[in-house]
Chains A and B, each alone.
Chain A
Amino acid sequence: MDIKNLLTESKARFNHNSAKAYLAEKFKSKLILAEQGGLWKADAETISLLNSFTSANLVLIDTFNSPVKVDRQQLLEKLQQTYDTTMEQWYTEWKEIENKR
């Protein structure tokens, strides 16, 4: 049976909460990246921390709980880039789901 017919005939409802959880699951993994010998999450906290320093190098605790000495500006740029791209995609897919209301 065609999937559209199946959904219609079973009177299936779109579940926004599950869709939201699925997007979070998908995009959280896309925010993770390996760089300069550490594993990072391109989240607001890490980006803000990198932004709040001015030194060229900085020791950060990565997601494996290991201290890693990083080139601050280089890591900041990489995380910002990943954050931007991923969050834009997340937002676009979220808006599509919102429109199903």
Chain B
Amino acid sequence: MKRGAILFAFNTEKFNYYEMAEYAAKRINHFLKLPVTIVTDEDSYPEDTEYVWDKVIKITPDKNNTRVWGTWINKGRWQAFEFTPYDETLLLDVDYIVNSSNLLKIFDFYDDFCCHNTIDFLMQPNAEQEKISHYGYNSLWATVVAFKKTNKVKNIFNCMKMVQNNYEFYMNLHSFNTGIYRNDYALTIALSIINGHLTDNRDFIPWNLLHIGSNTQIYKSNKDELDSEFTVTFDNWQRGKIRKEYITINDLDFHVMDKELYVGIIENEK
């Protein structure tokens, strides 16, 4: 059984996602000892890179998704199933920082598909779980997905494609209006359809996906690229003033939602 990770990275006018992917890949190699495949495009892939990918897959991405800060090229994630060269794959967002070997545990217990269904925020514990709408499903998270190449999983990814292609219909059906396509919501709807609108706990990773959320900053504690210690600061607003608080963390994976912060981590190590 060959195991590996797959990342999708397409540069936009604002962010260099390829650079983020390379940073993520080095940490996957180091902490999980897994090879990494990248799905990218000609414009994003720098020919002079020294990083050795297990496989580079260049495609023409769908750039038809816009956020406030610009284009967000996140469509086509369903293609992970056909692109992965591995029997068992970890599909990760490039802004998910692997900082421990914890994800390897998934290979020991999952049937053929697994993702996060619960989240928490560092420095802001006991966060409410996100729902796709006020009376809709709890959102699942496409940030970390583990899968095998089975028929069920093929159906899940095909269903994600169907949801992506008919996103407006599903927005109306489930009463959410994000304005942008989100893989998290497509996965939530697809998995629900495939499971006959029932919940199967075996599809979920039994610990929280940890976000670095609003008013929170994260810095490497030192310049060693593969060191696992980070310092997290939080702007705690009290009576109109900010009280800055901090903790240090190590041996714990997390998801950096703010891309500027992620870029800051990478830049700081140069």
State the A residues within 8 Å of B (CB): 3, 6-7, 10-15, 18-19, 21-22, 25-26, 28-30, 32-34, 39, 63-66
Quick check: B108 and A12 within 8 Å, CB to CB?
Answer: no
| Chain A CB within 8 A of B233 CB | yes
Quick check: B109 and A15 within 8 Å, CB to CB?
Answer: no
- B83-121 vs A, CB cutoff 8 Å, 1 = contact: the mask equals 000000000000000000010010011000000000010
Quick check: B109 and A39 within 8 Å, CB to CB?
Answer: yes
Quick check: A39 and B206 within 8 Å, CB to CB?
Answer: yes
Quick check: B105 and A13 within 8 Å, CB to CB?
Answer: no
Give the chain A neighbours of B234 by CB distance below 8 A. Answer: 15, 18
> Chain A nearest CB: distance from B236 CB in Å?
8
| Chain A CB within 8 A of B5 CB | no
Quick check: A22 and B206 within 8 Å, CB to CB?
Answer: no
| Chain A CB within 8 A of B227 CB | no
Quick check: A12 and B206 within 8 Å, CB to CB?
Answer: no
Closest 7 pairs (CB-CB, A-B): A29-B207, A34-B109, A34-B108, A15-B245, A12-B244, A21-B125, A19-B247
Query: Which residues of B from 213 to 261 have beta carbons under 8 Å from A?
Result: 219-222, 231-234, 243-249, 251-252
Give the chain A neighbours of B140 by CB distance below 8 A. Answer: none
> How far is A6 from B219 in the complex, measured between Cα atoms in Å?
10
Contact of B246 among A15, A21, A64 (CB under 8 A): A15
- A and B contact pairs by CB, cutoff 8 A, 10 listed: A3-B220, A3-B231, A12-B246, A14-B245, A21-B125, A25-B208, A26-B251, A26-B252, A28-B207, A63-B201
Contact of A12 among B202, B222, B245, B249 (CB under 8 A): B245
Give the chain B neighbours of A63 by CB distance below 8 A. Answer: 201, 206
Give the chain A neighbours of B202 by CB distance below 8 A. Answer: 64, 66
* Candidate in A22, A30, A39 with the most chain B CB atoms within 10 angstroms: A22
Give the chain A neighbours of B251 by CB distance below 8 A. Answer: 26
Starting from the known contacts A13-B244, A18-B232, A22-B249, 16 additional A-B residue pairs (CB-CB under 8 Å) come to: A7-B233, A11-B244, A15-B246, A15-B247, A18-B123, A18-B125, A19-B248, A22-B122, A22-B252, A25-B207, A25-B210, A30-B102, A33-B105, A34-B109, A39-B109, A65-B201
Quick check: B231 and A7 within 8 Å, CB to CB?
Answer: yes
Quick check: B244 and A10 within 8 Å, CB to CB?
Answer: yes
> How far is A7 from B108 in the complex, measured between Cα atoms in Å?
40
> How far is A6 from B207 in the complex, measured between Cα atoms in Å?
32
> How far is A64 from B200 in the complex, measured between Cα atoms in Å?
9
